[in-house]
Amino acid sequence: MQAPDIAIIVLFLAANIIFGLWQARSNRNTGDYFLGGQKLPWIVAMLSIVATETSVLTFVSVPGLAYRGDWTFLQLPLGYIFGRLLVSILLLPVYFKQGVTSIYEVIGTRFGTGMQKLASVIFLVTRILGDGVRFLATGVVVQVVTGWSLPLSVMIIGIVTLVYTISGGLKTVVWLDSIQFGLYLLGGFVTIIFILLHLESGLPEILAALAESGKLTMLDTGGNIFFNPMSFGSAFIGGIFLSFASHGIDYMMVQRALGCGDLCSARKALIGSGLFVFFQFMIFLLAGSLIYLFMQEVPQEKDREFANFIVNYLPSGLKGILLAGILSAAMSTISSSINSLAASTVTDLLGGKASLGMSKIISAGWAVVLICIALMFDESDNAIIMMGLEIASFTYGGLLGLFLLSRAKRNYHPASLAFGLLASMAIVFVLKLYGIAWTWYILIAVLINILATLTADLLTIRIKSGKA
């Protein structure tokens, strides 16, 4: 990096810290700190949802998917839109009716505090592992662009994010998410415009050439849908249930919707985010396809296609803007994770008995844990974005099944619920062992959870009645 690039990065990081410290004045209690006083504009909440869920994986992996293949990844976010509709209809009304701070309070009210704490612990474990992958993805890009080591990259991002998140709480996180979303989306547009200006052909000719070579294919109708995660049926259904779970029972995502003033605003934020995510993925897939032409179809190291383009072809200044976009994508997710982990810890595990100061200390503790987890991860043979989505698939199905069971009028024995939850997570390991596509994990886990809980409950009743 040259002086203009370094100046852009330093200014960007300093601005995030200053904004967080300035916003800290508005936090008077844990309600302000964890839900922004429930006064968040729905547009800001919507952009924060988009920034939180796509993170740096969009920068690292999505252009690489298009570079190495085509646009069939869009089948997943198409399902995301329908999954959000299910959340808006089935789950959001319950959260607003009960006026919860943490969504796992719904489980506590219905099944007792023991199940509430168990659900919260599962969320905490899933979140720190998933965001460890996101830290890894950030390190991959920052390491290539700057030449810094992976530990140094993680520490810089982690410390800056920790400072503004702990200072300002959810309100700071959400507003910075919205700004950061605009910044890394700008990075995608800058890439597209730069390449179009340097290619000899016009956009219609370029798109025609890409289409002719199959690089713009969006639907994959081949292969076995149970073993190929990108086959249309597998990807679309998987996208529906992944979004249904992630935006319905993952507190980090739902927290933004709960920060809105009412149910209508929350629904607009949630459904609108699905449309924005689909558009965003199109932008970065297009960027990856154009990079493929610009770099003359030369094979690149997996998940480093975009980073190599930034390093080798972008001029000084633009390189700094793109790196700021990468850091934005990373920090938006990590800051959201820190705040939601602390909120769930305070509300679900400590019963809401924590002061504002203690909540900030807990936030700092989770930030340290995330940094340590990030340093423990390594790359796998799969694209990083697939690795991140697969981690969530191990626990989302069980939690979603638990929330759906809470909507039934039947009273379940706590042991039956725990058995169903554990069975739903165990089945995922079996599915993975037999090579079933990860896009089916959540749906099958939901079904197993419900069936196992009902079976265990019926057996419990028979044993108690002396009929077994």
Least confident of 136-150, 183-197, 281-295: 136-150
* Distance between CA atoms of residues 184 and 138, nearest Å: 13
Provide the CATH number for the domain around residue 304.
1.20.1730.10
Largest CA distance in the chain: 82
Give the mean pLDDT of 31-36: 70
* Distance between CA atoms of residues 305 and 22, nearest Å: 38
Alpha carbon of 68 to those of 139, 295, 390, 391, 409: distances in Å?
A: 21, 12, 20, 23, 50
Give the mean pLDDT of 172-197: 86
Least confident of 26-30, 353-357, 359-363, 454-458: 26-30
Structural domain containing residue 85: 3-381
> Phi first, then psi: what are they for 243, rounded to 5°?
-70, -40
Residue 208 within any structural domain of the chain: yes
First to last CA, the chain: 73
Select the more confidently predicted residue: 185 or 170.
Answer: 185
Q: How many domains does the chain have?
A: 1
* Distance between CA atoms of residues 421 and 401, nearest Å: 8
Question: CB neighbours of 468 closer than 8 A, spacing ≥ 6?
Answer: 459, 462
Residue 239 within any structural domain of the chain: yes
Alpha carbon of 75 to those of 64, 105, 225, 233, 394: distances in Å?
A: 16, 34, 13, 9, 21
* Residue 206 CB neighbour total at 10 angstroms: 18
Most confident range, picked from 59-73, 170-184, 327-341: 59-73
Residue 411 within any structural domain of the chain: no
pLDDT value for 382: 46
pLDDT value for 232: 92
Select the more confidently predicted residue: 331 or 207.
Answer: 207
Reported as a single tens digit per residue, the pLDDT across 354-411 is 788 888 888 888 888 888 877 776 554 444 445 555 667 778 899 999 999 998 888 8
* Distance between CA atoms of residues 205 and 4, nearest Å: 35
Residue 372 within any structural domain of the chain: yes
Give the mean pLDDT of 1-19: 84
Residue 228 within any structural domain of the chain: yes
Instruction: For residue 324, name the pLDDT band (cuts at 50, 70, 90).
Output: confident
Question: CB neighbours of 378 closer than 8 A, spacing ≥ 6?
Answer: 136
* Distance between CA atoms of residues 348 and 346, nearest Å: 6
Instruction: For residue 13, name the pLDDT band (cuts at 50, 70, 90).
Output: confident
Give the mean pLDDT of 18-37: 72
pLDDT value for 451: 96
pLDDT value for 74: 94
Instruction: For residue 155, name the pLDDT band (cuts at 50, 70, 90).
Output: confident
Instruction: For residue 431, name the pLDDT band (cuts at 50, 70, 90).
Output: very high
Residue 423 within any structural domain of the chain: no
Give the torsion through C-alpha atoms of 187, 315, 145, 368, to 10 deg: -50
Residue 340 within any structural domain of the chain: yes
Q: What is the mean pLDDT of the chain?
A: 84
* Residue 99 CB neighbour total at 10 angstroms: 9
Q: What percent of the chain has pLDDT over 90?
A: 28
As beta bridge partners, residue 129 has: none
Residue 316 within any structural domain of the chain: yes
State yes or no: pLDDT of 266 exceeds 90. Answer: yes
Instruction: For residue 140, name the pLDDT band (cuts at 50, 70, 90).
Output: low
